[in-house]
Amino acid sequence: MNTGNPHDDWLKAKVAVTASIQEAIYSLEQSSMQIVLAITEDGQLAGTLTDGDIRRAFLKGHNLDSKISGIINRKPLVVPPDMGRDLVLQLMSANKIHQLPVIDTDNKVVGLHMWDTIITPSALDNYMVVMAGGKGTRLRPHTEKCPKPMIEIGGKPMLEHIIERAKADGISNFIISVHYLGEIIESYFENGNKWNVKIEYLHEERPLGTAGSLSLIDNLPSSPLIVTNGDVLTDIHYYDILEFHQRQGASATMAVRQHEIENPFGVVKTKGVDITGFEEKPVYRSHINAGIYVLNPTCLSLIERNTHCNMPTLFERIQSESGRTVAFPMHEPWLDVGRPDDLVQARNMNQ
């Protein structure tokens, strides 16, 4: 499984809205999803059908040759592709359903959320690369003898929080890029057996930036890479950003958060010397880089080996090669632990 699709086999649940009940039963048996997606000739969702619906149809006098068009639920609960895992779970739980179709703006089915799959995510073959080589100068003296990702939050290193969070989403292959005091990180995590994951290391001889160390990966995987900074604590579901990346047909995806800055003064609008209006303490909103990315392996060919490159530069290079770069809007709790105040906040949150 490459991207965390709601369910790779959902296509087996599709049948024509003109199908018979017998054909629908065959679909239920073949897909094992306990739902049939009735599709119109132009590919739109006409309705859904469950085993219970078929039973009730038989009680009303329908037979195996009856058309499903007369018994389908024509107003099923559906969700858009960009709805996050947590909200999907809430909807399924509140409505006591185990299947939830994913519909695009043209009312066409593009996926199917399955309760069991969401609760226990399938194992992903995607690699996560964690950038853990920085010196963390803004966090001194905490980082004088300890690499920043190894600073403890809630009794364990930040990097351990990141690995455990990713493992919960089905990720078991990790690459950690190390430089400053990297031996401490390697000594602690070793090959990852303690966490039932596989960990490899990239060794930066000098700081290579947020993207530069990716050039040191010798054996590129075939699936998109998740890349994260080693000082980012978040409740994001990596499953969601991988799925978003695939649905957008992107070459590179950057997680972003909305950032607000309030002007503490009333703003006077003018045209020349004439006052045209007033705005009391306006709030300016923008998107900031959240330090989490998804990259297609081909993007790494744009980084010269062992050469400094930051992530915005890589995204610009991808754009110049006509690759699609997209922003994944985050709403989950997120904290970039880069300053002493951030560290205090992170520790207070984990008390």
Residues annotated as catalytic (active site), given as ranges: 281
Task: Locate the DSSP E strands across the chain.
Answer: 14-16, 36-39, 45-49, 99-103, 109-114, 124-131, 152-153, 156-157, 171-178, 198-203, 225-229, 232-234, 252-262, 267-271, 274-279, 283-295, 325-329, 334-336
Q: Write down the residue that tokens 């590129």 correspond to.
A: 220
- In the structure encoding, which two tokens stand for residue 168, read together? 């919960």
Q: Are 49 and 24 in contact, with CB atoms under 8 Å apart?
A: yes
R_g of the chain computed on alpha carbons: 25
Q: Which two tokens stand for residue 5?
A: 């699709």
d(CA 145, CA 210): 22
